[in-house]
Amino acid sequence: MRAVDRSGAPDDPADPPVREPGRPRRTGAAEQATVHTMHADGSVTLLSDGGVLFDAGAAAVAEGGWRALRPGQRVTVLRRGRVVVAVVHPV
C-alpha cells in the first residue's frame, strides 16, 4: 500500500513503498507459484509457472504471515536475486 497523495500529482517512483503492518515489503522480483510439498520444518517445495521445482525456507514462509499452506495452493514468491525472501498471498 502506498501513501495517498490527494493533490493529483503523480506518484514519485523514488518514494519507497509503505509497509503494511504484518506484511513483508514487496521488493525484488516476484513470481507466481504453486505449493508442491510441505515439509515438517515449515519449509515448502514450490512449482513455478515455468515448471521448475524450488525450495523456500521456513523463514520465507513465516514472512508471508501464513497460518498453514497446502499442496496446490497458489502463492506469490518474492526473491532477492536467487534467494526466496518471502512466500506471500497471491496478487
Domain contains 6? no
Domain contains 4? no
Give the total number of structural domains in the chain: 1
CB-CB neighbours of 78 under 10 Å: 23
Say yes or no to pLDDT of 49 above 90: yes
Domain contains 22? no
Domain contains 66? yes
For residue 33, the enclosing domain spans 29-88
Domain contains 20? no
Strand ranges, E, within the chain: 29-38, 44-48, 53-56, 74-80, 83-88
Domain contains 57? yes
Which pLDDT band holds residue 48 (cuts at 50, 70, 90)? Answer: very high
Mean pLDDT of 62-66: 93
pLDDT at 28: 60
**Strands 53-56, 29-38: parallel, antiparallel or unpaired by DSSP?**
unpaired
Of residues 20 and 64, more confidence is placed in 64
**Residue 48: CATH number of its domain:** 2.40.50.140
Say yes or no to pLDDT of 19 above 60: no
Compute the distance between CA of residue 88 and CA of residue 64 in angstroms, rounded to an integer: 4
